Amino acid sequence: MDSTADRARDGQESPLRWCPSGDASRPETVVLGVRSGEHDQVVYLAEPVPAADVLGSIPEGIAPNRVLRFASHCVSDCANRVGEACGLIERITTVPAEPGPAAVPRCHLRPHCKWWNQVGVEACHRCPALTTLEPRDDELAVLVADPATTREQLESWIAAEQ
């Protein structure tokens, strides 16, 4: 992570945060981890690697985010922004966690991570499995991924399923 990570942005008070579900194509983007194993859980890199160094080695026809997770700057024009907050991690943590103990991954992004700084360790419990929340998987995943979904809508959907 470069030294700009916690620097105030454009003279504003807010520190620069990084999105752990970032855009592979931004100039500052780094590889956060590799999807692996039975459920495509993310295995986190010990050190950030510039995305530009690895994107060229991904075979044509495979979307980079199918095999890697990226981190890039949390930007004010992101569709998931709700004021200064990330609406995506709010929606993700509205969904009840799987039962049982959840490990906290070792992760190079943590000091600068938007999700960690917003909701703490609960984000880290959910982070490795984010790939399971892709829209094609199920109706709940569609709702979680949609920036227009409110917490109340999610809670209603979950209550109706129980």
Question: In sequence order, what are the beta bridge partners of 85?
Answer: 82
- Closer to ligand SF4 by Cβ: residue 114 or 143: 114
Question: Would the CA dihedral through 76, 80, 82, 87 be positive or negative?
Answer: negative
Contact residue for ligand SF4 among 110, 133, 144, 149 (CB under 6 A) = 110
Strand partners, 44: 33
Amino acid symbol at 28: E
* 107 near ligand SF4, rule: CB under 6 A: yes
Please identify which residue in 115, 133, 144, 149 interacts with ligand SF4, judged by CB under 6 A.
115
Closest CA to 26 of 82, 93, 71, 87: 71
Residue 110: CB minimum distance to ligand SF4, A: 4
Site string for ligand SF4, 43-72 (x = CB under 6 A): ------------------------------
Tell whether residue 127 is a contact of ligand SF4 (CB under 6 A).
Answer: yes
| 91 contributes a contact to ligand SF4 by CB under 6 A | no
Nearer Cβ to ligand SF4, position 73 or 110? Answer: 110
Which of 61-86 are b and which e, b meaning 16 or more Cβ less than 10 Å from the residue's Cβ? Answer: eeebbeebbbbbbbeeebebbeeeeb
Kindly state the DSSP code that residue 148 receives in the 8-state scheme.
Answer: T
Q: Name the region of 102 (left: φ>0; alpha: ψ -120 to 50; beta: rest).
A: beta
Residues in contact with ligand SF4, counted by CB under 6 A, come to a total of 12
CA distance linking residue 146 with residue 153, whole number of Å: 11
Is residue 154 at the binding interface for ligand SF4, with CB under 6 A as the rule? no
Shortest approach of ligand SF4 to residue 41 CB, angstroms? 11
Residues that bind ligand SF4 (CB under 6 A): 20, 32, 105, 107, 109-110, 113, 115-116, 123-124, 127
